[in-house]
Structures are given as C-alpha cells and as structure tokens.
C-alpha cells in the first residue's frame, strides 16, 4: 500500500510564494507525472485503480484485527505525555463522551491502515484542533450546526462546500468545493483559517489530524483560466499522487468525472457555472432533525450507502446510486440465466427477496414532503418495491429489444405493403415508423415479419428490414 510506504518528501519545484502559486496546466501535469513515476509499479497501479473506484486499498477487517488494533491504540495513547493530550484527557473525564466509543477510535485506525501509533497521534491532535475551533463542549458531544454562527450557517447554505447526497460508483462519499475569492473573512473557513482562536494557519494540521482517508482529489477548471495549481503541490507525496487535474468546458468536465465513477447528474453546478443549493439545504434540514433527536430519526438516512436501493419519484439521480446498480445487476443475472420473462411476478419477487436479505440491502425511500431519505422497515413495503423493480426491468428490457429490432437491417424488400404500422425508438433518440409488409410462422411458433419504413421521400432513402421476432412480440 502506497500511503504507509511513501515518505513525506520535500515540496517539488513550484513557483515561489510571491507568485501566488500560479502554474500552467502543462507544468502541473509534468509534476504529477514525475510524482507517479516515483512510485513502484505496484503502488502506482493500486493508487490508479482506487482513484477510478475499481479497487480499494482498505485493509481487510476481521474481529481479531479490530480488537488487537484497538488494544494497541489504547497502549499508544497511554504513552503520550500528559501535556500533549490535554483535550483527550478532558474528554475522558466525561463518561458519556463519544471519545470512549470504539467507533470513534476506528475512524482514525482506518485512516492510517491500522497503524496504532499514528492513529493515537491523530486522535489527540484532532481533539486539540477541535477544541480550539469550537470550544470545550465538542469534547463531550460531536460538532453540530448550532456550533456555527448564523452568519457561518448562511454562508454554508450558499454551497461553497457540499457533501453530495449520493456516493460514487465505489460507494464512497463525495465532497465538492467551489473556490472563490469573493467570500469575506467571516466564513466557515474562519474556524480553520485565521480567527476563532486558531494559533496558526492549520492546513497542515488538518491534514495530519483528519480521520478521513481521501481516495482522490479532482481539480476541474476551464482551459481559458489561469489557475493556482501550485498551491496543491505543497502537499506531501501521498496526497500529490492522488491529484488529478481536468481541463475543459463544463460539459467536458462532467464527462471526465463520470469516467471516475462520479455521475454528472448529482454535481451541484449547472453547465453555466451556477452553484445549486438544493442538496445543501436538504442536508441542513436532515441534520437539524438528527441533532434534535426527533421522533423516528433512527429511520433517517443522511446518505444512502452502497447496499441501499433508493426509490425517488421522478428522481433520475437515484438511478446512479451504487446500491441501485448492484441490485439491477442481480436482476440482470437472473434474466441472463433464462426463463425470466416466463416466471411469475410472485416467484421472481420471492427469489429476489432472498437475494435482498443475503446481500444486506435496504430499501430507502425519498420523502418529498420531508426532504429526506427514510429507511423502509415494513415487510409489505419492501416486497412491493422489489416487485416494482421487476416490472421496471421487464419494461426496460422490452424497450431494449424493441430498439434492437428496429436497428437491425436484415434484408431489402419492396413487396406489396399493407396498412399495419409500427413505431420504434431507434438510436440517437430518434423515432421511426414502419409498416407491415408480410410475415410467416416458423415451426417453432416464432414470427418472421417484414417491415418498411414510412418516409416522405422517394424509395431510394427508404429503409426496409426483415426482423426475427420472439413469441412475446406475437401481437406484431
């Protein structure tokens, strides 16, 4: 694994501080290429595959590993001098503090591949910087929205930094930041910037204390804009190896990010560059309910995970949810084994419910009137949603066959035509109308029907074809 192995090297040759870190895309690309070449072939492949979401460098976890690592981490915490873990000691004095939980400690262990010593160091430093930014109350309970001022909350709602409501294709959370020089000093970043009692510019401190391991950094910018790429190359070597710079128009950038498993449909920005705030405002409402511990909040889902099947009326974004994709692949495998179209709805639903249980799936329903995701627990609701998935797949499969038939040109014919017509959706979003010419029945009971395209032009531009049609299309 690359991160534990790569030593934090000196900063590469980048523009001096007085140049505001401006750098051309060519210079930035050259530095990134050299950074990757410094890695071994195995490390380079592991990083690249994880960035694209096709593999993960996470340490495989077992109950024995978790128990042993937690024990080692506690020993390392005990070795740290008292004056270097003041906030940690204070947090332990609260019997109901989240610091006592294994879940909190495991966050730091996972971030550093279960290196107990590094995890212990990060945990104590994390509590130090948290106490500086928000005060002693956050040593007893996690940070909540009320810890931010009204002004800070207002700026957060403008969307300069957002956690997206869906995950990428690998099931990882996505954070997006829109850099701007227009936001004044009193911003959410002031907590980690130049005020609120912070002793120094904490970019390096945040990097050294975070309990999150970032898989990739995607920097997107237009080709025509001179960008401050240089600032990103003052990061340590493990971070620089995960930076990817993308140049182009908004639409080109959308397609590029999509190749990394980030659906363009969920990005909170228009092709014209306007920031969307719908998702961040919905997130605000969800956090309010969770933090106030309102009734039924245990059923609220902030962000669906990779085993969640999302149902959202009229919501195209749910199609790209990782859990939806996984469940569709299960239905697809059953279809490929044959007999799918002939099986009854009830039998298919029963089989899929077994797969649903074994795969650890959950049904998540978007409640429009509440602007949040709710986990379904009623067996009847879950069963009905599974049946709906079957119907949706069958309809989609029928349409797919329809398009394939319409696109297949098997033979030319100009024989006498009747008045029967058929409409087909064809490639490119176009629609063509064909009229039935003749048909015959094979010994196996399937039809071979000939159709002719109806056009306003002469015969030379007309498309005719003979299609072999399965029994389910006998109505033709």
239 and 119 share a domain? yes
Contact 14, 233 (CB under 8 A): yes
314 and 439 share a domain? no
Residue 289, domain member (yes or no): no
Nearest to 254 by CA among 268, 243, 240, 242: 268
Which of 142-151, 210-219, 283-292, 415-424 shows the lowest per-residue confidence on average (mean pLDDT)?
415-424
Rounded Cα distance between 420 and 450, Å, is: 11
241 and 324 share a domain? no
82 and 176 share a domain? yes
Res. 273 pLDDT band, cuts 50 70 90: confident
Rounded Cα distance between 107 and 123, Å, is: 9
- The token pair that represents 437 in the structure block: 């010419």
Q: Domain boundary residue among 356, 384, 403?
A: 403
Q: Which residue has the higher pLDDT, 374 or 407?
A: 374
**Helices marked H in 158-277:** 203-209, 237-240, 250-258
Rounded Cα distance between 207 and 221, Å, is: 24
393 and 423 share a domain? no
311 and 427 share a domain? no
Nearest to 224 by CA among 258, 269, 273: 273
Alpha carbon dihedral 398, 400, 402, 405, in 10-degree steps, equals -130
* pLDDT for the residue 370: 84
Contact 174, 163 (CB under 8 A): yes
Q: Domain span at residue 451?
A: 408-473
What are the pLDDT digits (tens) for 411-430?
A: 333 344 333 455 554 444 45
Helix 116-134 and helix 63-79: axis angle, to 10°? 60
Nearest to 466 by CA among 449, 445, 441, 453: 449
DSSP output for 64-106: HHHHHHHHHHHHHHHHS-GGG-HHHHHHHTSTT-GGGSHHHHH
Q: Domain boundary residue among 265, 280, 295?
A: 280
User: Per the structure, how many domains does the chain have?
Assistant: 3
Residue 241 main-chain phi, psi, to 5 deg = -65, -15
Say what the pTM is: 0.73
113 and 204 share a domain? yes
193 and 128 share a domain? yes
331 and 268 share a domain? no
* pLDDT for the residue 7: 41
329 and 458 share a domain? no
- Kindly state the average pLDDT of the residues 187-199: 44
Rounded Cα distance between 92 and 89, Å, is: 5
- Buried b / exposed e over 140-149, threshold 16 CB at 10 Å, is eeeeeeebbe
Q: Domain boundary residue among 234, 261, 280?
A: 280
39 and 109 share a domain? yes
Residue 456, domain member (yes or no): yes
């Amino acid at each position: 694994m690359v991160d534990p192995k790569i030593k934090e090297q000196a900063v590469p040759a980048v523009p001096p501080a007085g140049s505001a870190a401006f750098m051309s895309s060519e210079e930035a690309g050259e530095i990134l290429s050299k950074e990757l070449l410094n890695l071994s072939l195995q490390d380079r492949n592991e990083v690249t595959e994880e960035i694209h979401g096709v593999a993960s460098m996470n340490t495989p976890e077992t109950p024995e590993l978790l128990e042993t690592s937690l024990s080692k981490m506690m020993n390392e915490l005990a070795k740290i001098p008292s004056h270097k873990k003041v906030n940690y000691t204070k947090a332990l004095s609260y019997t109901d503090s989240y610091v006592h939980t294994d879940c909190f400690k495991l966050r730091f262990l996972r971030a550093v591949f279960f290196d107990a010593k590094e995890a212990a160091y990060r945990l104590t430093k994390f509590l130090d910087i948290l106490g500086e930014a928000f005060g002693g109350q956050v040593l007893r309970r996690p940070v909540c929205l009320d810890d931010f001022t009204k002004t800070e909350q207002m700026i957060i709602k403008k969307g300069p930094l957002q956690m997206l409501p869906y995950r990428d294709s690998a099931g990882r959370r996505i954070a997006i930041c829109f850099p701007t020089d227009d936001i004044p000093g009193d911003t959410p970043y002031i907590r980690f910037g130049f005020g609120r009692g912070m002793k120094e510019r904490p970019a390096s401190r945040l990097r050294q204390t975070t309990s999150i391991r970032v898989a990739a950094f995607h920097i997107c910018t237009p080709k025509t804009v001179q960008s401050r790429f240089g600032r990103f190359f003052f990061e340590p070597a493990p971070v620089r190896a995960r930076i990817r710079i993308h140049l182009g128009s908004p639409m080109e950038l959308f397609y590029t990010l999509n190749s990394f498993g980030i659906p363009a449909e969920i990005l909170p920005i228009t092709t014209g560059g306007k920031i969307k705030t719908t998702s961040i405002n919905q997130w605000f409402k969800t956090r309010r309910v969770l933090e106030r511990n309102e009734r039924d909040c245990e059923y609220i889902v902030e962000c669906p995970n990779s085993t969640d099947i999302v149902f959202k009326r009229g919501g195209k974004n749910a199609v790209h949810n990782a859990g939806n994709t996984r469940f569709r692949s299960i239905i697809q495998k059953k279809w490929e084994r044959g007999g799918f179209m002939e099986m009854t709805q009830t039998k298919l639903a029963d089989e899929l419910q077994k797969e649903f249980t074994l795969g650890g799936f959950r049904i998540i329903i978007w409640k429009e009137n509440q602007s949040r995701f709710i986990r379904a627990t009623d067996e009847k609701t879950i069963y009905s949603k599974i049946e709906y998935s079957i119907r949706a797949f069958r309809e989609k499969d029928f349409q797919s066959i329809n398009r394939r038939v319409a696109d297949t040109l098997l033979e030319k014919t100009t024989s006498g035509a009747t008045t029967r017509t058929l409409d087909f959706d064809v490639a490119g979003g176009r629609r063509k109308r064909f009229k039935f010419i003749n048909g015959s029945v094979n010994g196996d009971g399937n039809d071979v029907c000939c159709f002719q395209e109806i056009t306003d032009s002469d015969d030379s531009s007309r498309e005719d074809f003979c299609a072999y049609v399965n029994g389910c299309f006998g109505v033709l």
